[in-house]
């Protein structure tokens, strides 16, 4: 335990170096690194070697992938590259060579990704004339992000790539971000492409009826996601193709529950062994899980500014993703994490910049929307 704690504290040094900006470290980054170090030490102290079963068994599954690589070596086949998450566990192996605990190394890379994600969001906001305050971080790097970065998962890597695709400056790095998502979460990469196509469609055709356009794109994206799930399942498992649930009440109940951060209301005791009142209480801690989607939907529907089209692109991608997720028995805020940071940034811009067009009578205007 003592060695683990020392390693966690030593890893704070490179985190501080990565967080440096023009020779300085902002308050958020400093606080985050301290919280991260304390949290990973406490989790290890409380759960010991069973820490990989804390919160999500996916930590244990990923650790088993790491052990399998140690036993079998690197198997250079596309199937193995994707199935055993080589993009995640190979860097972990590199740190393990220097004696770093592999679970801690996984958490370290999650922390690196959150620091970089915070920087991307902050740079985008500052480029658009918003002076970022520490409390703004709840919209793009809040409690939910911090908590997940203390676990041995891959969520922050996925969130970083997705956020850069929407908010990053370099076109070529955006393409790299999509390529990195293919082995990590291929359906998410497809969702981003669906939103990109929708953006190109809005560029070429000047739709004046915003709400009709948004409804149509949402329904089409949701249906595409549902059919993609069926086709993908058939390709992977060879099951008979069954028509997806598109017009089912349950599917759309799941869709709308995601827009308000209350996905757990669609679960039963087989999925989550907690009372709804307890899950609601957790929302008070992870306030970003509902604050971000609610704020984003509000600005999507009522704000008319240069980010209107960007919000539509993001929402179309999200709708495709939810169309896919609605065909399964499980959907959580954790799965939606890749979209939340960009949603929060665009919501923040819509809520705080009073100089933007505030006409709410006809809905956002896509004719003059930003074509990012």
pLDDT digits (tens, 9 = 90+) for 172-226: 999 999 999 999 999 999 999 999 999 888 888 777 788 888 899 999 999 998 8
Of residues 309, 294, 319, 296, the one with CA closest to residue 365: 309
- Packing angle of the helix pair 155-167, 186-204 (nearest 10 deg): 10
CA 254 remoteness from chain centre: 18
- Give the pair of three-digit tokens for residue 62: 């990923």
- When divided into structural domains, the chain yields a total of 2
- Residue 102's pLDDT is 93
Confidence of residue 1 (pLDDT cuts 50, 70, 90): confident
307 φ, ψ to 5°? -100, 5
Regarding whether 165 and 27 lie in a shared domain, the answer is: yes
Give CA–CA dist 243/117, Å, rounded.
Answer: 38
Q: Are residues 314 and 198 in the same domain?
A: yes
In 3D, which of 190, 177, 195, 153 has the Cα closest to residue 334? 153
- Say yes or no: 282 and 357 in one domain: yes
Q: How far is CA 169 from CA 81, 123, 289, 306, 311, in A?
A: 29, 10, 27, 17, 17
Q: How confident is the model at residue 256 (pLDDT cuts 50, 70, 90)?
A: confident
Q: Are 265 and 131 part of one and the same domain?
A: no
User: What sign does the dihedral 177-181-183-184 (CA atoms) show?
Assistant: positive
Among candidate residues 184, 203, 226, the one where a domain is terminated: 184
Q: For all residues of the chain together, what is the average pLDDT?
A: 84
In the chain, what percentage of residues exceed pLDDT 70?
84
Scanning the chain, the segments in alpha helix (DSSP H) are: 2-19, 27-47, 58-72, 78-83, 86-97, 102-127, 143-149, 155-167, 171-184, 186-204, 210-237, 249-259, 276-285, 288-302, 308-325, 333-352
Do 46 and 68 share a domain, yes or no? yes
Residues spanned by the domain of 344: 186-372
What is the reported pTM? 0.87
Most confident option among 105-119, 250-264, 313-327 = 105-119
Same domain assignment for residues 195 and 274: yes
Q: Which residue has the tokens 């409390």?
A: 135
Domain closes at, from 123, 153, 184: 184
The tokens of 76 are what?
Answer: 């250079």
**pLDDT of 16 over the 60 cut:** yes
Mean pLDDT of 322-336: 79
Name the 3-class secondary structure at 349.
Answer: helix
C-alpha 190/C-alpha 197 separation (Å) is: 11
**145: nearest Cα among 165, 116, 170, 125:** 116
Q: Are 254 and 271 in contact (CB under 8 A)?
A: no
Tell me the per-residue pLDDT of 270-283, one tens digit each, with 9 for 90 and over: 445 555 566 666 67
Considering the domain architecture, whether residues 121 and 209 belong to the same structural domain is answered as no
Same-domain pairing of 255 and 357: yes
Last residue within a domain, chosen from 139, 161, 184: 184
* pLDDT of 243 strictly over 60: yes
Pair 21, 50 in one domain: yes
- CA 248 to CA 72: how far, in whole Å? 46
Quick one: 27 and 167 in the same domain? yes
Q: Does one domain contain both 167 and 198? A: no
Instruction: Please determine, for residue 355, whether its predicted confidence score (pLDDT) is greater than 50.
Output: no
The reply to whether 40 and 163 lie within a common domain is yes
């Amino acid at each position: 335990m003592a060695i683990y704690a020392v390693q966690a504290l030593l890893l704070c040094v490179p985190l501080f170096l990565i967080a440096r900006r023009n020779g300085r470290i902002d308050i958020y980054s400093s606080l985050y690194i301290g919280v991260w170090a304390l949290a990973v030490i406490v989790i290890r102290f409380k759960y010991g070697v069973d820490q990989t079963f804390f919160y999500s068994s996916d930590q244990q599954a990923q650790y088993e992938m790491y052990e399998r690589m140690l036993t079998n070596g690197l198997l250079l086949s596309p199937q193995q590259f994707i199935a055993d998450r080589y993009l995640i566990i190979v860097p972990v192996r590199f740190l393990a060579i220097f004696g770093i605990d592999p679970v801690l190394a996984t958490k370290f890379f999650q922390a690196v990704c959150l620091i970089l994600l915070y920087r991307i969001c902050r740079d985008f906001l500052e480029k658009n004339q918003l002076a970022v305050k520490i409390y703004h971080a709840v919209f793009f790097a809040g409690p939910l992000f911090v908590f997940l970065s203390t676990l041995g998962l891959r969520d922050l890597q996925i969130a970083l790539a997705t956020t850069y695709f929407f908010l990053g400056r370099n076109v070529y790095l955006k393409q790299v971000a999509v390529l990195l998502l293919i082995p990590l979460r291929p359906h998410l990469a497809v969702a981003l492409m669906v939103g990109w196509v929708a953006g190109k469609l809005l560029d070429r055709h000047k739709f004046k009826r915003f709400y009709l356009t948004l409804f149509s794109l949402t329904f089409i994206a949701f249906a595409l996601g549902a059919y993609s799930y069926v086709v993908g399942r058939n390709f992977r498992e060879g099951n008979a193709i069954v028509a997806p649930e598109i017009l089912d009440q349950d599917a759309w109940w799941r869709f709308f529950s995601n827009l308000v951060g209350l996905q757990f209301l669609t679960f039963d005791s087989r999925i989550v062994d907690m009372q709804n009142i307890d899950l609601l209480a957790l929302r008070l801690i992870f306030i970003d899980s509902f604050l971000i989607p609610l704020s984003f939907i509000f600005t999507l529907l009522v704000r008319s500014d240069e980010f209107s089209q960007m919000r539509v692109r993001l929402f179309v991608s999200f709708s495709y993703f939810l169309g896919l997720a609605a065909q399964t028995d499980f959907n959580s805020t954790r799965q939606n994490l890749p979209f939340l940071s960009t949603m929060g940034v665009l919501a923040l811009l819509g809520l705080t910049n009073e100089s933007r067009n505030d006409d709410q009578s006809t809905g956002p205007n896509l004719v003059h929307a930003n074509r990012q």
